[in-house]
Amino acid sequence: METLERLLLAHPFLAGLEPALARQLTGCARNLRFAPGEYLLREGDPADEFYLIREGRVALELHTPGRPPLTIAALGAGELVGASWLALPYRWSFDARASTTTRAFGLDARCLREKCDADHHLGYEMMRRLLPVMVQRMQAARRQMLDVYGHLP
């Protein structure tokens, strides 16, 4: 049987992570399953856990009063859901909803923040892995804005 640590290390987000650091993450992790339509996180709620998708699809959504939710990204296996756990005020700025049956690792944000504060090498590894995800998402949002509003002067 696979251990949680081995399964975590198999996730692309954590590929190549040192085993000692992986052991620290394992103490903050749990296996989760979400049914289609189930929310992983809701805008404004505390960002107390983030997710590494193992299988399935998750839609990131923004809400505007009087309009249906706007899907800003569709995420799948190997991707991360949620980075707001890392920065104050630790609140989600969007919704994330399972589009299909989704299996993911949930990582307890407070647990991980405490471990990163105690071990700066772990903190650096997490930042090094999160930053490209955040940049990629910002670039995708920029492309969407250009599609909607056209080229800016």
Give the domain CATH number at 54.
Answer: 2.60.120.10
Q: The whole model's pTM is what?
A: 0.88
Strand partners, 32: 104
Q: What is the pLDDT of residue 77?
A: 97
Report pLDDT for 3. 87
Q: What is the mean pLDDT of each run of 10 residues along the chain (153 residues)?
A: 85 92 92 97 95 97 86 93 90 95 97 96 94 83 70 57
Domain enclosing residue 76, as ranges? 4-149
Q: Looking at 35-147, which runs of residues are DSSP E strands?
A: 39-41, 49-55, 58-62, 70-75, 80-81, 95-98, 102-108
Put the strands of the sheet holding 58-62 in their side by side order: 39-41, 95-98, 58-62, 70-75
Total of domains in the chain: 1
- How many helices (H) and strands (E) the chain has is answered by 4, 8
Q: The tokens of 17 are what?
A: 């992570």
